[in-house]
């Protein structure tokens, strides 16, 4: 179960105007320019333009000593690659905390790492109702473990693979959080139909179609053209069940365990598994 690494007093089940106004994410990254286009692209730009999500980037190189502003060095014990130095990160973090006027209980430090808990919708919802935090994007072979032990409050992973830096993972979290802010999506109800959402019992979403009615040799399912909204809702629910059972049986098992499916749906699932 996802447990917020900050005090429970920072949010309740209901989002408040104060928290929405105060949501701030500080990103520690050697490549802050990567976030410039991110902030002004797509629907999530509304979250940044409105100030609902305050995003600030900090380069640890600005806090490194010496003429070369070095932020990495060779690993003790030998081996390939370089390791990010602890001190520039510690000084950068201290500058962020001073600028925020908050300690680590109010602004947790998150490291994107293969060792972290895999990001999921429940975690995103928790972050979307929080006051934000500090996101650390690692590079090279990793970060000096002493800094991780001393300062990192939580580690998050996108999955069982490795990318060249934490920036992609940070953008994924920020995008997911930003789109849940009020007014960011043109139709806020559309978020309720997203895959993994509790409104769908955590199932995958159904297929979607648009014009033309016939494309190549493929036609739109007739039920979607019927105008019968009850039948359309029934078809979409059946599609979600079928796709989830086929593609992500683990999600189906979870939905069954949580008791969100009807007796008829449970009977259908048992029939598919026999």
User: pLDDT (tens digit, 9 = 90+) per residue, 44-57?
Assistant: 999 999 999 999 99
Q: Is 211 a catalytic residue?
A: no
Query: How confident is the model at residue 190, as a pLDDT?
Result: 81
Query: How confident is the model at residue 15, as a pLDDT?
Result: 44
Q: Are 31 and 165 in contact (CB under 8 A)?
A: yes
Tell me the pairing of strands 24-28 and 72-73: unpaired
Q: Is 237 a catalytic residue?
A: no
Question: Among 3.40.50.10320, 3.40.1280.10, 3.30.70.260, 3.30.2450.30, what is the CATH number of 15-178?
Answer: 3.40.1280.10
Query: How confident is the model at residue 90, as a pLDDT?
Result: 98
Here the tokens at position 220 are 């739109």
User: Which residue among the candidates 194, 205, 248, 265 is catalytic per the annotation?
Assistant: 194
> How would you class 34 by CB atoms within 10 Å of its CB: exposed for 0-12, middle for 13-18, buried for 19 or more?
middle
Q: Is 56 a catalytic residue?
A: no
Mean pLDDT of 17-21: 43
User: Which residue among the candidates 61, 75, 91, 141 is catalytic per the annotation?
Assistant: 141
Q: Is 194 a catalytic residue?
A: yes
pTM of the model: 0.88
Residue 166 pLDDT class (50, 70, 90 cuts)? very high
Q: What is the mean pLDDT of the chain?
A: 91
Reported as type and span, the H/E element at residue 133 is: strand 132-136
Longest Cα pair distance anywhere in the chain, in angstroms?
Answer: 71
Mean pLDDT of 59-87: 96
Q: What are phi and psi of 157, to 5 degrees?
A: -125, 145
User: Which residue among the candidates 62, 70, 114, 258 is catalytic per the annotation?
Assistant: 114
- Superfamily of 190-273 according to CATH: tRNA(m1g37)methyltransferase, domain 2 (1.10.1270.20)
Give the whole-angstrom CA distance, residue 263 versus residue 260.
Answer: 10
Task: Check residues 163 and 12 and name the one with the higher pLDDT.
Answer: 163
Q: Picking from 14-18, 168-172, 179-183, 254-258, which range would have the lowest pLDDT averaged per residue?
A: 14-18
Closest by alpha carbon to 126, among 254, 7, 3, 255?
3
Query: How confident is the model at residue 189, as a pLDDT?
Result: 74
Peptide bond just before 212 cis, omega within 30 deg: yes
Residue 18 pLDDT > 70, yes or no? no
Residue 22 pLDDT class (50, 70, 90 cuts)? low
**Where are the chain's structural domains?**
15-178, 190-273
Give the whole-angstrom CA distance, residue 28 versus residue 171.
Answer: 12
């Amino acid at each position: 179960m996802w447990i917020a690494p900050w005090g429970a007093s920072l949010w309740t089940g209901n989002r408040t105007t104060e928290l929405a106004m105060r949501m701030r994410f500080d990103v520690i990254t050697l490549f802050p320019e990567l976030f410039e286009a991110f902030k002004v692209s797509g629907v999530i730009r509304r979250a940044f333009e409105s100030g609902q999500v305050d995003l600030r980037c900090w380069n640890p190189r600005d806090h490194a000593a010496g003429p070369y502003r070095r932020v990495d060095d060779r690993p003790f014990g030998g081996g390939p690659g370089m390791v990010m130095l602890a001190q520039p990160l510690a000084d950068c973090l201290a500058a962020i905390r001073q600028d925020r006027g908050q300690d680590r209980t109010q602004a947790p430090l998150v490291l994107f790492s293969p060792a972290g808990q895999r990001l999921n919708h429940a975690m995103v919802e928790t972050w979307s109702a929080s006051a934000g935090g500090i996101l650390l994007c690692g590079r090279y072979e990793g970060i000096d473990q002493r800094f991780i032990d001393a300062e990192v409050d939580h580690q998050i992973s996108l999955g069982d693979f490795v990318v060249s830096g934490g920036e992609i993972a940070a953008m994924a979290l920020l995008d997911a959080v930003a789109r849940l802010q009020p007014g960011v999506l043109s139709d806020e109800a559309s978020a309720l139909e997203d895959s993994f959402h509790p409104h769908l019992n955590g199932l995958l979403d159904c297929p979607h179609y648009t014009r033309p009615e016939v494309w190549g040799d493929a036609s739109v399912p007739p039920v979607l053209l019927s105008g019968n909204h009850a039948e359309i809702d029934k078809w979409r629910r059946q599609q979600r069940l079928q796709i989830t059972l086929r593609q992500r049986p683990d999600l189906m098992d979870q939905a069954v365990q949580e008791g969100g499916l009807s007796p008829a749906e449970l009977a259908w699932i048992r029939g598919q598994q026999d």
